[in-house]
């Protein structure tokens, strides 16, 4: 049985651990406060190690799930314990494979970078994955399996990670804004906020499902809902006249720009 070690046991690690099959993998964790980590281990039905070094020694896969600003100092203390049969995985926003290679102080350490999103908390993350050339097929397949247990996994080129972070990592915030705006319009026209929010959220979920299930281009679905001279096309034209598409694209571009300048 392969052992997966998590360094840092916050929201994302907890979400990933919750989705994993404990009969298939041995899971060990290490935080920065042993008493707290032991309590978390009990709740999550996994094993606490007393320190990060011990975790690295026992793990086949080491998932660095601390905040990006903490990761360099955590990793720098582990370099003497990393061996080439261990795969290092980072879920930290903004740290590239090249950054991680330098931090691991190794030319040929197997390293995988994964970018999950907040929907991991309900087992529906949309994650991106990229590996360096030292990861073998078997390890790569296992890491994909780990992240597929909390949602979907997309193999993308590393140059596209910033774009992915905007359209999958930050976009839930934009989608929440859209849902809230539409629900507020429902309130304006007389429906209580809770009910309006549920109505819009269910409609957004089903509309996304329709795109995924039908394989149709979203724009052709817009046309299908828009009867000639009807109510929907009046709303579609109003959105267009108020630069809906351009506004959304600008928001994604601003998000990408910000990440590149961090």
Q: What are phi and psi of 125, to 5 degrees?
A: -65, 150
Candidate segments 19-27, 63-71, 229-237, 238-246, binder of ligand NAP by CB under 6 A: 63-71
Q: In this chain, which of 28, 48, 66, 153 binds ligand NAP, going by CB under 6 A?
A: 66
Is residue 11 a contact residue for ligand NAP (CB under 6 A)? yes
Residue of the chain from 74, 187, 221, 252 that contacts ligand NAP (CB under 6 A):
74
Q: Which residues contact 46 (CB under 8 A, 6 or more apart)?
A: 17, 22, 27, 28, 29
Chain residues 116-175 in contact with ligand NAP, contact rule CB under 6 A? 116-118, 169
Residue with tokens 């197997």: 110
Stretch of 109-117, 148-156, 203-211, 245-253 lying at the interface with ligand NAP (CB under 6 A): 109-117
28 is in an annotated binding site: no
Q: Measured between alpha carbons, how far is 128 from 57 in angstroms, rounded to an integer?
A: 27
Only segment of 25-33, 135-143, 181-189, 193-201 that touches ligand NAP (CB under 6 A)? 25-33
| Residue 111 interacts with ligand NAP (CB under 6 A): yes or no | no
Q: Which is nearer to ligand NAP, 75 or 196 (CB)?
A: 75
88-107: which residues touch ligand NAP (CB under 6 A)? 91-93
CB 38 within 8 A of CB 48: yes
Among 4, 9, 29, 128, binds ligand NAP (CB under 6 A): 9
Q: Count the Cβ atoms, other than its own, within 10 Å of residue 197.
A: 18
CB neighbour burial string for 132-148, b if at least 16 within 10 angstroms, e if fewer:
bebbeeebbebbbebbe
**Do the annotations mark residue 210 as ligand-binding?**
no
| Residue nearest to ligand NAP according to CB distances in the complex | 10
Distance CA 152, CA 64 (A): 20
Output the 3-class SS for 214-240: HCCCHHHHHHHHCCCCCHHHHHHHHHH
Please give the annotated binding residues, written as ranges. Answer: 7-12
Chain contacts with ligand NAP (rule: CB under 6 A): 7-13, 31-33, 36, 65-68, 70, 74, 91-93, 115-118, 169
């Amino acid at each position: 049985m392969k052992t997966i070690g998590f360094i840092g046991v916050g929201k994302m690690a907890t979400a990933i651990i919750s989705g994993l099959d404990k009969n298939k993998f041995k899971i060990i964790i290490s935080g920065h406060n042993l008493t707290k980590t032991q309590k978390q281990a009990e709740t999550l039905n996994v094993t606490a190690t007393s320190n990060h070094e011990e975790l690295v020694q026992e793990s086949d896969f080491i998932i660095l799930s601390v905040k990006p600003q903490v990761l360099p100092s955590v990793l720098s203390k582990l370099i003497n314990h990393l061996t080439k049969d261990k795969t290092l995985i980072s879920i930290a926003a903004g740290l590239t494979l090249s950054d991680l290679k330098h931090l691991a102080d190794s030319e040929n350490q197997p390293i995988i970078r994964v970018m999950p999103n907040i929907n991991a908390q309900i087992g529906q993350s949309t994650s991106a994955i990229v590996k360096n050339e030292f990861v073998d097929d078997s390890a790569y397949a296992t890491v994909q399996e780990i992240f597929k247990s909390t949602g979907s996994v997309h193999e993308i080129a590393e140059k596209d990670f910033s774009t992915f972070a905007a359209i999958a990592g930050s976009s839930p915030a934009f989608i929440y804004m859209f849902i809230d705006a539409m629900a507020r319009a429902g309130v304006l026209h007389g429906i209580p906020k809770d009910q309006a929010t549920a109505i819009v959220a269910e409609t957004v979920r089903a509309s996304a499902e329709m795109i995924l299930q039908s394989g149709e281009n979203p724009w052709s679905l817009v046309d299908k809902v828009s009867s000639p001279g009807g109510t929907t096309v009046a709303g579609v034209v109003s959105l267009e006249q108020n630069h809906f598409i351009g506004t959304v694209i600008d928001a994604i571009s601003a998000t990408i720009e910000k990440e590149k300048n961090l």
